[in-house]
Structure 1
């Protein structure tokens, strides 16, 4: 009976420069118990300084290496067909003054954006008109409408982004998290295609 091996590559991981890449570092593996330890500790690649920051391990490379040792096995891949290894040193945590500066910058920019939007749509005039319709009196600064509206605007943004500092209200991803996820997928795809292009160029390939 043919032995089956199921492999799911991790889309992107971080390893140190000069690290020895083993299959367990880049993939989840399901295999018979007698093969699993050898598979997990199989050496796949040795990261070298000339690899620079990005290394791509393809599924076909892993297939060749496994079949070289166990030619009778049936290998099936689930999920992505390559793993991106990032060897860049981890970014140091930002210091508090830098965090405070960025926070103030973003807060000021967001506040100006909201104020300019309200000025463009004449929100002040809308509140005055609404107050006049409801009470029959005209008031230049209807705070009874403006204060709840301002509070509601802030609460609405918190609920929309599903975050208050580090607290998350539910398991549903926020629109920002979805956009970051889509951006990371596009970035991974670009890195893979660009590395393929560079490798073909360096090998002198001609279509």
Structure 2
């Protein structure tokens, strides 16, 4: 930024952009909310309170702040600082109401839980039907005991518990309890899915912003 590298009055500020934040409608987004800063304490407190953007209703519920916008603000408000940026070049701002009631979310959670529970059960039963699991159990029971058994419950019941235990071990979680700190496959998929959504939304918002700038310049 402004100033020579050997300028004794120049202060260096290290800045790392966050990936995504959530703010209520109509709020003012400040620098300390969208980035982590490292600077001298008096300057740090002042920079954290710098306003970058105030939400307007016509902006919708998704806004992207670019690192160049932050550098422009710092040049205007703190011209004697030199900025070193790290991390992502944009931060995604999601505008959401803070006072949303918990009951609709709880109802959606229960409905989704029931849907997944019965859906998973039907999927397992259909799989067992496709591979003729009943006949396999009967054959295994005959090989172990030498007797024909239509319902070898002594074999099927432990097998059913084993399927459930295997799912618990695979997902590394039972309710809120984790067995270790290793992420399970579902968490990895959700992380990848969220990262892809953030990347798409940021690219889409940047494209829209570029289109609006071109329209203004043409006009």
Same fold (TM over 0.5): yes
Rate the CA distance shift 1:40–1:178 in 2: closer, same or farther, 3 A: same
Query: How far did residue 41 of structure 1 move?
Result: 0.9
- The aligned counterpart of 1:92 is 101
SS of aligned partner of 1:50: helix
Q: 2:199 aligns with which of 175, 189, 197?
A: 189
Aligned mates of 2:71, 2:108 — CA distance in 1 = 47
Match of 2:86 among 75, 78, 95: 78
The answer to whether residue 139 in structure 2 is matched with residue 129 in structure 1 is: yes
Deviation at 1:77, TM superposition (A): 1.6
Residue number in structure 2 paired with 1:107: 117
Map of 1:50 onto structure 2? 58
Gaps of 5+ in 1: none
In 2, Cα distance between equivalents of 1:156 and 1:190: 35
Shift in Å, 1:4: 2.0
Work out the CA distance in 1 between the residues paired with 2:160 and 2:113.
20
Aligned-residue RMSD, C-alpha:
2.0
Normalization by structure 2: what TM-score?
0.85
**Match for residue 16 of structure 1?**
24
Q: Aligned with 1:140: secondary structure?
A: coil
1:163-197 deviation line (CA, Å, top 9, x unaligned):
22222222222211111111111000011111111
How many correspondences in the alignment?
206
Unaligned runs of 5+ in 2: 1-7
Q: 1:164 aligns with which of 167, 170, 174?
A: 174
